[in-house]
Amino acid sequence: MRVNNVMLYTITRVVAFIILSFSIYLFFAGHHNPGGGFIGGLMTAAALLLLYLSFDLKTIKQIIPFNYTWMIAIGLLLSLGTGVTSMLLGYPFLTQFFDYFDLPFLGETELATAVLFDMGIYLTVVGITLLSILTIGEDR
Amino acid sequence: MTLLHLAVLAPFLMAIVVPFLYRYLRQIHTGWFVLLLPVLLFAYFIQFLPSVANGESIMETMPWVPSLGINFTVYVDGLGLLFALLITGIGALVVLYSIYYLSKKTEALNNFYVYLLMFMGAMLGVVLADNLIVLYVFWELTSLASSLLIGYWFHREKSRYGAQKSMLITVFGGFAMLAGFSLLYVMAGTFSIRELIAQADVIAGHALFLPAMLLVLLGAFTKSAQFPFHIWLPDAMEAPTPVSAYLHSATMVKAGIYLVARLTPVFAGGAEWFWIVSGFGLFTLIWGSYSAIKQTDLKSILAFSTVSQLGLIMCLLGIGSSAVHFGYGSPESELYLIATLTAVFHLINHATFKGCLFMVVGIVDHETGTRDIRKLGGLMTFMPVTFTLAVVGSLSMAGLPPFNGFLSKEMFFTAVLRAAQLDIFNMETWGLLFPVIAWVASVFTFIYSMILLFKTFTGKYQPEKLDKKPHEAPVGMLVSPVILGSLVIILGFFPNVLSHTLLKPAMVSILPMLLETIDHFGVHIYMWHGFNAELMMTIGVVAAGAVLYRVMFKGESIYERLRQTDPLNHIYDSALAGLIKGSIAITRVQMTGLLRDYFAYMSVFMILLLGYATYRYQALAIDMESVAPISTYVWILAIVFILSTLSVPFINHRLTAIIAVGVIGYLLALLFVVFRAPDLALTQLLVETVMVVLFLLCFYHLPELRKESFKPIFKWTNVIISVAVGAIVTLIAFGSLAAGHHLNFEPISTYFIENSYTLAGGKNMVNVILVDFRGLDTVLEVLVLAIAALGVVTMVKLRMTGREDV
């Protein structure tokens, strides 16, 4: 018979979102504080893994219908794409740019292409971590 | 590209056409088309005779690899022309003979003539090339073509064996020769034989002189079947008889002779050259002639006879080189020139009578179906023409008048008698050996020539042992041996016809420094030279030979008392087998198939290499000045770190081991914290977590049977190796720390500290380096991870067994 882990389910629902929020914070903090795409990606993967561990694979797959292989591909394309864009503008491959903009609600904000690059890293890391662990986990 | 180059390359061009002729003109024997080429070439080379006889030489250069000094230079002088005429002349006769010998219905004639033409071109290249590298290329082509021809009937086991043997031995010598040529280049700075001869005194004084000479001689001796490399020649008799007649009596085996003669001006004059060339030649002479007596197969007799005669020529070249010692113009040097003259003369004579005899044997084989002299006998009445040819060839080989063999043999005796009177190179003590061995070898030569003649054509006719009813060969088959046989007689009666056209120019090529200035040096060979020691020796040879021949075939057959096989064959066979066995054994010892062993090899190699490098450059240094003060936290962490690491090998349970490794990972993260690397610490914590999860997943998936807890096999060698690896890495770390402090490098990090905010707009320097300054590394690392993940998917999902046809 199945044990009904009420405690685990309840805590997971709360904690998973806290971890997810923290991972997003880590991702955006990367430019000025400890953090970045790699750590953020791993943290997001950890939050999703917690979901997978608490609930069964099938349920989570319905809730989060991501194809992680696509995620890896999009991530790599994004990382390389920022590099190639700088080439199209006549700079060497992977030249990053940044500038300060006055945005509504946020005030003066620094926007950098490095964030897009990091986004690619983030997506790839999430994809590969979950892809490999789920593949091994699903394997009977 | 001149006409001369075209002449050398023509056989190769012809070889391309041959398969088409064979395919589309089946009704005509392919040999007829091929025959045109050597005849044309012979006529072409004949026209050089007048100019070469006047002492001129023709040289045409075509650049091949000019940057390395390798040019396809064709050089026609006396020696080259003599060989070119032999190659094309006998080549034409052999092709004519092969037309009747090989059936167009049953034989793969396209293969045969392609190989034969390839050989002819290669041989022309060897004798006409002035560049050593070009010579080497053609030299190896002759080895290749010869092997292909020996293995012509490749479905026979013995053909393949003979082809492999000749290939191994001649290519071995060829490589040695290439090394010798390279040394010559090192000494003289040129590959051209002309320029080498011009620098002979530079080479003679060089430290590499002796190695170069030995290596070049190794090449010459293997090709020319000198003792102990002669063993491939008897096995090469598995080739079709025209091939044996052409390659293994008249041309290829003389490539070594050619090389020795050609490089005599470079090397000769010293005791080493004299003794090696004449000593090996003399020993080969007697060994070959003695071995020939023991053979029952006609072609084997001729093979050993070829070995013996080549030894004779080699010995003469050695004796002739002593003339160089005396310098030009001295009366002594002229005394020893006779040896070189004899070598050249006998070279021609041997090509004529041996070619003739091989063709005779081929006819006998063709018409009776066997070459075994125990089955043959009494063929005189069936084959009168063949018998006559055999008489001419055998008596010439035995050295009897009035044939050309007699003249060269008398001159050979003169040369060895004069060699015995030499008072240089320790010849005063050993000199007497020369005429004695030469005389004994001549007796043997006489005996096997008589065996060849009498055992085949006289005695009792044994029709029950023969497959076919013997009859005279077709006329076409007889034309070539008849031409060669008449040459034997013509050269016997008129030996001086070639003196000025071929012999003298060839001698000038062999000993240019002696002869270029001598006008009055005349070549005169006489059939009758008076009652002298040489004539007495010949009479002695005939008498002793006749008596021994009588004694040998009295009562029990000689072949049951003597072992027919050469004992050196046994050495070769066991050496080859041992080589294979040894390599297998060595491979087995080291290629165990255990990854553990390979890992041990790599570690030991690393220890030895790094240890030696550290020792060699005295890189061991411990410099405590640059070490920062160590805090209490670090001490505690380090002790826990070491203790948990040491515990891992002693844990017998997988699960515990996995957790212990996880503990080490978290401790490492703590160390990062202490050393103020927050990004690293975060990453390390997360990666370690993911790794432990993966480990546990894998642990869960281990198969049932292997679920027992394991104890690492404790081996002292492993302990020693691992301790040594750790020690060497630690020492190198200390050494590089000290070196870094000593050399006072400025770290690159100052640049990043200064510029990370101004240039990249980020305050987290680590991240700025990762995504901005060194973004490429990051992209590629993520790519590595992606490939790893896809690899996991591939392995888990596809479950390949390794047998799929992908």
- Residues B574 and B660 occupy one common structural domain: no
Q: Which of these ranges, A42-51, B286-295, B494-503, has the smallest mean pLDDT? A: B494-503
Query: What HEC string does B102-114 produce?
Result: CCCCCCCHHHHHH
Nearest CA in chain A to B758: A98
Q: Write out the residue range of the structural domain in which residue B735 sits.
A: 593-764
What is the distance between the alpha carbons of residues B86 and B94, in angstroms, rounded to a whole number?
11
What is the distance between the alpha carbons of residues A103 and B607, in angstroms, rounded to a whole number?
61
* Amino acid letter for position B404: N
- Residues B576 and B454 occupy one common structural domain: no
- Burial degree of A20 (CB within 10 A; 0-12, 13-18, 19+): middle
- Burial degree of B629 (CB within 10 A; 0-12, 13-18, 19+): exposed
Q: Which residues of A touch B683 (CB under 8 A)?
A: 38-39, 42
- Residues B329 and B411 occupy one common structural domain: yes
CA distances from B747 to A131, B156, B524 (A): 40, 74, 89
Q: Which of these ranges, B2-16, B233-247, B692-706, has the smallest mean pLDDT? A: B692-706
Q: Which of these ranges, A122-131, B293-302, B699-708, B744-753, has the smallest mean pLDDT? A: B699-708
Direct distance between the N- and C-terminal alpha carbons of chain A, in angstroms, rounded to an integer: 20
CB B732 within 8 A of CB B621: no
- Residues B281 and B364 occupy one common structural domain: yes
Does residue B685 sit at the A interface (CB-CB below 8 Å)? no
Nearest CA in chain B to A98: B761
| Closest CA of chain A from B793, distance in Å | 6
Q: Which of these ranges, A57-61, B287-291, B428-432, B749-753, has the smallest mean pLDDT? A: B428-432
- Averaged pLDDT for residues B389-413: 88
Output the six-digit token pair for B603.
């570690």
**Which of B693, B698, B785 lies nearest to residue A124, judging by beta carbons?**
B785
Measured from the Cβ of residue B379, the count of other Cβ atoms closer than 10 Å reads: 24
Q: What is the pLDDT of residue B617?
A: 84
With a CB cutoff of 8 Å and minimum separation 6, the contacts of B713 are none
pLDDT tops 50 at residue B705: no
pLDDT in tens, B133-172: 999 999 999 999 999 999 999 999 999 999 999 999 999 9
- Return the SS3 of B268: coil
Does residue B760 sit at the A interface (CB-CB below 8 Å)? yes
Strand A107-112 with B58-65, pairing? unpaired
What's the pLDDT band for B221 if we cut at 50, 70, 90?
very high
Provide the percentage of residues in chain A whose pLDDT is more than 90: 24
CA distances from A114 to A121, B59, B560, B763 (A): 10, 72, 95, 13
B750 occurs within a structural domain? yes
Query: What HEC string does B536-558 produce?
Result: HHHHHHHHHHHHHHHHHCCCCCH
pLDDT tops 80 at residue B468: no
What's the pLDDT band for B321 if we cut at 50, 70, 90?
confident
- Return the SS3 of B59: strand
What stretches of B129-207 show up as alpha helix (H) in DSSP? 132-150, 157-188, 193-198, 200-204
Q: Which residues of A touch B768 (CB under 8 A)?
A: 31, 114
Give me chain B's average pLDDT, please. 85
| Partner-chain contact A69 B793, CB within 8 Å | yes
- Averaged pLDDT for residues B686-709: 70
- Residues B345 and B396 occupy one common structural domain: yes
- Averaged pLDDT for residues B293-310: 89
* Residue in this structure with the two tokens 């004579």, named with its chain if needed: B349
- Residues B614 and B664 occupy one common structural domain: yes
- Residues B520 and B650 occupy one common structural domain: no
* Residue in this structure with the two tokens 């991240």, named with its chain if needed: B767
Interface predicted TM-score (ipTM) of this complex, two decimals = 0.90
User: What's chain B's Rg over C-alpha atoms?
Assistant: 38
- Residues B576 and B618 occupy one common structural domain: no
CB A113 within 8 A of CB A84: no
pLDDT tops 90 at residue B39: yes
Nearest CA in chain B to A76: B783
pLDDT in tens, B58-84: 888 888 988 888 889 999 988 899 999
- Return the SS3 of B712: coil
What stretches of B761-804 show up as alpha helix (H) in DSSP? 765-768, 775-798
What's the pLDDT band for B88 if we cut at 50, 70, 90?
very high
| Partner-chain contact A72 B789, CB within 8 Å | yes
Q: Which residues of A touch B693 (CB under 8 A)?
A: 49, 133
pLDDT in tens, B556-612: 566 666 666 678 888 899 999 999 999 999 999 888 888 888 888 999 999 999 999
| Closest CA of chain B from A139, distance in Å | 7
- Residues B576 and B620 occupy one common structural domain: no
DSSP assignments along A91-135, one per residue: SPTT---EEEEEETTTEEEEEEHHHHHHHHHHHHHHHHHHHHHHH
With a CB cutoff of 8 Å and minimum separation 6, the contacts of B131 are B70, B71, B72, B73, B191, B192, B193
- Residues B447 and B307 occupy one common structural domain: yes
- Averaged pLDDT for residues B730-744: 84
Q: Which residues of B touch A119 (CB under 8 A)?
A: none
Does residue B680 sit at the A interface (CB-CB below 8 Å)? no
* Amino acid letter for position B428: E
CB B488 within 8 A of CB B356: yes
Output the six-digit token pair for A16.
């998973």
**Phi-psi label, residue B652: left if phi above 0, alpha if psi -120 to 50, beta otherwise:** alpha
Does residue B689 sit at the A interface (CB-CB below 8 Å)? yes
Output the six-digit token pair for B592.
């165990």
Provide the percentage of residues in chain B whose pLDDT is more than 90: 30
- Residues B302 and B334 occupy one common structural domain: yes
B493 occurs within a structural domain? no
Helix (H) or strand (E) holding B391: helix B384-398
pLDDT tops 90 at residue B40: yes
- Return the SS3 of B64: strand
The total of structural domains in chain B comes to 3
B480 occurs within a structural domain? no
Domain ranges of chain A: 6-138
Measured from the Cβ of residue B19, the count of other Cβ atoms closer than 10 Å reads: 15
- Residues B584 and B624 occupy one common structural domain: no
Q: What is the pLDDT of residue B320?
A: 84
Q: What is the pLDDT of residue B562?
A: 64
Q: Best mutation site among A44, A78, A96, A131 for testing chain B: the one with the most B CBs within 10 Å? A: A96
| Partner-chain contact B790 A79, CB within 8 Å | no
| Partner-chain contact A121 B778, CB within 8 Å | yes
Nearest CA in chain A to B673: A34
* pTM for the structure as a whole: 0.80
- Averaged pLDDT for residues B720-725: 90
pLDDT tops 70 at residue B240: yes
CA dihedral B577, B580, B582, B583 (to 10 degrees): 170
